[in-house]
Amino acid sequence: MFNYYFNIGLIYFIVGFTVALFFYFILKKPILGRFWGTLVIALVGSFLGGIIEFFFADLIEKLTNINNSVNIFPPIITSFIIIWCFSLVSKDK
């Protein structure tokens, strides 16, 4: 049982980390806290997306699952939305 939840948490962490790398180094958006701020916000967004997926699983069941246990689209989408909103509010340039 621990491995199941550990794998889900690890996948959400990898999704958040990848989104942070993409948003900070590829899009080069100014964010408060630079890379570390981006990483924290992306991880929060990733886990929040996982929670949203848990509550609306029936609605988004058609999306692709990894190992038939984790749906990666809600964490990716939520991470991007939260980082984008945070970059709009951020004044660090």
Model confidence over 18-35: pLDDT tens digits? 988 988 898 887 777 888
Q: pLDDT tens digit string along 53-71? A: 788 776 666 555 556 667 7
| Percent of the chain whose pLDDT exceeds 70 | 83
- Cα distances (Å, whole numbers) of residue 86 to 37, 58, 60: 10, 29, 26
> Looking at residue 32, what DSSP letter applies?
T
Q: How far is CA 71 from the centre of its chain?
A: 12
How many other CB atoms are found less than 10 A from the CB of residue 20? 24
In order of 88, 90, 92, 93, the CA distances from 15 in angstroms are: 22, 22, 25, 25
Of 48 and 63, more confident = 48
CA angle 45, 46, 50 (to 5 degrees): 110
Q: Where are the domains of the chain?
A: 2-89
